[in-house]
Amino acid sequence: MLTIIFDPVTLIGVGQGQYSYEYECTKYEAECTPEQWKTPSDWILQGSEITAAPVSDPEIALAAAWKDHQASAQRALDKSDMTILRCYEGNVIVPAAWVMYRKELRSIISASMGDAALELPVTPEYPVGT
């Protein structure tokens, strides 16, 4: 069973669920088609039904774009964990540029709204010795 997870405030799709057994969906989750599952931010939850997000509503489009931007920032933060782990394993002090980079990513992730057109912070050079 494939599901889309929806934001409780905007009811826009924000994530994907996938289960290989019978599963009772939460209040903000609904069973979906494979096509819907591929693009969760293109869908909204109306009652218990998944419908296409109205393209003409700029507020919904901006919110969806921001959620996608936040998801990109989360993926970058997750990927940066490997560098921090390598610093730890190599007994290398985490460079200030990496600390700032991760702080900027967390700022994007935790913000309720922002400009999705802005680029994510640039990944710093990998620390020597990692």
How would you write the pLDDT of the chain (130 residues) with one tens digit per residue? 677 777 777 777 777 776 666 667 777 787 877 777 777 777 777 777 787 776 656 777 788 889 889 999 999 999 999 999 999 999 999 999 999 999 999 999 999 889 988 999 999 999 998 8
Structure tokens at 36: 């819907």
Its pTM stands at 0.58
CA dist., res. 58 & res. 49, Å (int): 22
Cβ–Cβ < 8 Å for 50, 43:
yes
Q: How far apart are the first and last CA of the chain?
A: 41
